[in-house]
Structure 1
Amino acid sequence: MRNMKKEDIKQEVFDLYDDYAHNRIDRRQFMEKLSVYAVGGLTVSSLMSFIMPNYQDKIQVNANDARLSTEFVEYDSSKGGGKIKGQLSRPVNNNKKLPGVIVVHENRGLNPHIADVGRRAGLEGFLSLAPDALTPLGGYPGNDDDGRTLQAKRNRDEMLEDFIAAFYYLKSHPECNGKVGVVGFCFGGWISNMMAVRVPELLAAVPFYGGQPDAEDVPAIKAPLLLHFAELDTRVNAGWPAYEEALKKHNKEYMVYFYPATNHGFHNDTTPRFDEAAAKLAWQRTVDFFRKKLG
């Protein structure tokens, strides 16, 4: 039931979806809890249909977009998962070396939405690499439920090594100017923060509603940070005050934005958590930041 409106949905439903999307409840529990809100003509199935990702109709940049050269590549990540597959995108007819941007997926592998975001970055004039941390388990399985299950089987620190390896692959790519940044969403936001800790050569990090590193890790950060948070995302936001205190204490360069009345995942245009105005603003800030730091 895609004609349902976002305004018809109680905030508690979005909070339930956040619990489900982050494996705090399983699908059966999600449906049981959702039934409480199936009132006034709404059914559990209609609520499920509305709130779950709609990849088919929401792709902004198709994989065969003629403005881009897009392919899948493999790179080595010996500390993580061996060979890792990733989508590499850049503008066609390019005759100069480009800044590199790693695009890091959420907690379900390289699904169609994050692949789309990778191509959007390519259209902005970057050499974009969107790796799939599920490669060692066969890659994104075609749906998010199975993707979350697979990703939960991998050690997150090993996946971090996979994305660090992606940085070095992209930095040394013959089409890259050697200047590389990272943007990530949810789990990818944590990866972005941790790459800032672990990779001294990283020149820009943009976590979208990402978990924070420990305060004792902050002195190692060299990269400028651009941090995006959703106002209603109390789970992730709870860690921000301590992180900001450490960033200030150690004189780190950062900018932070909280987007009013938005939920975790507000940039993802495939679910009703999407907030168009906030997503456009956050993405433009991200592109401008990368152009300034990597150009």
Structure 2
Amino acid sequence: MGRKITLKTSQDEPFSAYLTGDKAAASAVMILHEWWGVMPHNRLWADRLADIGHLALVVDLYDGRTTDDPELAAEMMRNIDQQRADRKLLTAIDFLHTTGRRVASFGCSFGGKESMRASLLQADKVSATIVAYCRMETEVERLKKLSGPVLAIYARQERNWPEKQEAFETAMKAAGKQTESVGFDAAHGFTNPTSPRYDEAADKASWACIVDFLQRYLG
């Protein structure tokens, strides 16, 4: 139901994104992909958010590259030009916020880390942040920049849970920021339907939490 669009960074660098939903929507969600690159389920998430009234944009940080090979995915993630990726994030947020829309960022794993990064880069334009089973930001001074709440979704089968959750909640409290935490007895990648770790029940439950969070903070 959406379409591919091309945006340009402040340095005139073109990049692709998937846009779906009503342009007149009062709220928008920026979706960041996992280390595989933009996959069909990322676009499906966007379509589902559009169905409930949000404008949704899936940002391609890999310039069209995708893979289902974990080793190649890890290499692609390690080799990302983060400064260029930051320019894409800033451009995408500006695009969504143009008419004064309330904007949220959302991502899982690598995308979760980039979701938090986006919210810190452009805090005055991001009203809410959603991160799922990703590397968590715990630097208090950086977290103080956030202008809205964070929904943190955890996979309780990860080896570094619950320490990861405890460290993030402690840092957010020290920064004076609001966080909501939900965890599921599932493995890293449980929201990806193409993953052997996919957990349908946990995926549906986490999606319900995402929808509720967005309704409360984006309207």
Common fold: TM-score over 0.5? yes
Aligned to 1:87: 18
1:210 and 2:134 equivalent?
A: yes
Q: Are the equivalent residues in 2 in contact too, given 1:140–1:147 (CA < 8 A)? A: no
The two structures, once aligned, show a CA RMSD in angstroms of 2.2
Aligned to 1:128: 56
Mapped partners of 2:157, 2:218: distance in 1: 31
For residue 212 of structure 1, report the CA deviation from its aligned partner.
1.5
Q: Are the equivalent residues in 1 in contact too, given 2:132–2:154 (CA < 8 A)? A: yes
1:170 and 2:96 equivalent?
A: yes
Describe the SS at the equivalent of 1:130.
Answer: strand
Distance of aligned partners of 1:97 and 1:123 in 2 relative to their CA distance in 1, 3 Å threshold: closer
Deviates further, 159-168 or 232-241: 232-241
Which TM-score applies when normalising by structure 1? 0.67
Once the two structures are superposed, what CA deviation does each residue of 1:14-46 show, in whole Å capped at 9, x if it has no partner? xxxxxxxxxxxxxxxxxxxxxxxxxxxxxxxxx
For residue 214 of structure 1, report the CA deviation from its aligned partner.
3.7
Name which of 177, 183, 186 aligns with 2:109.
186
Q: Are the equivalent residues in 1 in contact too, given 2:28–2:103 (CA < 8 A)? A: yes
Mapped partners of 2:121, 2:161: distance in 1: 21
Aligned to 2:176: 251
Identity of aligned residues (%): 25
Q: Are the equivalent residues in 2 in contact too, given 1:198–1:221 (CA < 8 A)? A: no
Q: Are the equivalent residues in 2 in contact too, given 1:185–1:208 (CA < 8 A)? A: yes
Mapped partners of 2:84, 2:164: distance in 1: 23
1:76 and 2:2 equivalent?
A: no
Mapped partners of 1:151, 1:98: distance in 2: 33
For residue 237 of structure 1, report the CA deviation from its aligned partner.
5.3
Name which of 142, 145, 151 aligns with 1:226.
151
Equivalenced residue count is: 215
1:99 and 2:99 equivalent?
A: no
For residue 229 of structure 1, report the CA deviation from its aligned partner.
0.4
Mapped partners of 1:85, 1:277: distance in 2: 32
Distance of aligned partners of 1:170 and 1:160 in 2 relative to their CA distance in 1, 3 Å threshold: same
For residue 168 of structure 1, report the CA deviation from its aligned partner.
0.9
Counterpart of 1:156 in structure 2: which amino acid? Answer: Q
Q: Are the equivalent residues in 1 in contact too, given 2:138–2:172 (CA < 8 A)? A: no
Describe the SS at the equivalent of 1:269.
Answer: coil
Counterpart of 1:123 in structure 2: which amino acid? Answer: D
Aligned to 1:58: none
For residue 245 of structure 1, report the CA deviation from its aligned partner.
0.9
Mapped partners of 2:83, 2:157: distance in 1: 28
Which TM-score applies when normalising by structure 2? 0.88
Q: Are the equivalent residues in 1 in contact too, given 2:157–2:187 (CA < 8 A)? A: yes
Deviates further, 231-240 or 221-230: 231-240
Describe the SS at the equivalent of 1:144.
Answer: coil
Aligned to 1:9: none
Q: Are the equivalent residues in 1 in contact too, given 2:25–2:53 (CA < 8 A)? A: no
Mapped partners of 1:97, 1:257: distance in 2: 28
Describe the SS at the equivalent of 2:58.
Answer: strand
Describe the SS at the equivalent of 2:21.
Answer: strand
Mapped partners of 1:288, 1:179: distance in 2: 15
Q: Are the equivalent residues in 2 in contact too, given 1:87–1:131 (CA < 8 A)? A: yes
Mapped partners of 1:158, 1:244: distance in 2: 30
**Unmatched segments (≥5 aa) in structure 2:** none
